[in-house]
Amino acid sequence: MKNSFRHATRLLTFALVTGLAVFLTGCGAEPQGGTEGAAAPPARAIPDPLTIFKAQISVLNVPATVKTGEAFEIELKIKNLGDMAWSALGGPQGENSVHICHHWLDANGNMLIFDGVRSEFPKDIAPLEEVTLKARARAPEKPGDYIMEIDLVQERVSWFKERGSKSVTANIKVE
């Protein structure tokens, strides 16, 4: 009787959620070892928006010349000068995570390509913590002399430069 009850509850589970009836059907056997007592993985909470958008970004290594459309890496040292940790993952859909990104400007400083390739931090970055890492980039499709501007962004909140932090630039020739 106990097994047939467990079987029946696996096939059809009725839940009353905020006044709505929700039916879930299951099929197939339980995974080996059963699921009783197994905890679901915890959902990631959405981090709060930052209160201070301040970073120290240093370019350690960037190629002087790249080919059109080429994917390449730049080596950076980045320090969190804010009062909150930067979340590497953010919420379940990446909300409020902090990423490294770049823009492409012409030789006169005019914006040509806003919002290049995003790069993730390897972990959350605590206030005053400094990390050295390689960030991804992709060269523009047209040859020329460019300025690459490197900045941070808290997804769905703001670019750091827009809140007073200093971005950094590097001159790159695209052939």
Domains in the chain, number: 1
Beta bridge partners of 153: 99, 159
Q: Is residue 112 part of a domain?
A: yes
Q: Is residue 118 part of a domain?
A: yes
CB 98 within 8 A of CB 121: yes
Q: Is residue 125 part of a domain?
A: yes
Q: Is residue 34 part of a domain?
A: no
Pairing of strands 65-66, 168-174: parallel
CA distance 35 to 130: 42
Range of the domain at 90: 55-174
Residue 22 half-sphere exposure, CB side, CA atoms within 13 Å? 7
Q: Is residue 38 part of a domain?
A: no
What does the pLDDT read at residue 36?
59
H or E element that contains 9: helix 2-11
Pick out the chain residues at pLDDT < 50. 1-31
What does the pLDDT read at residue 172?
98
Q: Is residue 134 part of a domain?
A: yes
Q: Is residue 109 part of a domain?
A: yes
Residue 67's CATH number: 2.60.40.10
What does the pLDDT read at residue 22?
39
pTM reported for the whole predicted model: 0.76
Burial environment of residue 169 by CB neighbours within 10 A (0 to 12, 13 to 18, 19 or more): middle
Q: Is residue 35 part of a domain?
A: no
DSSP state of 86: B
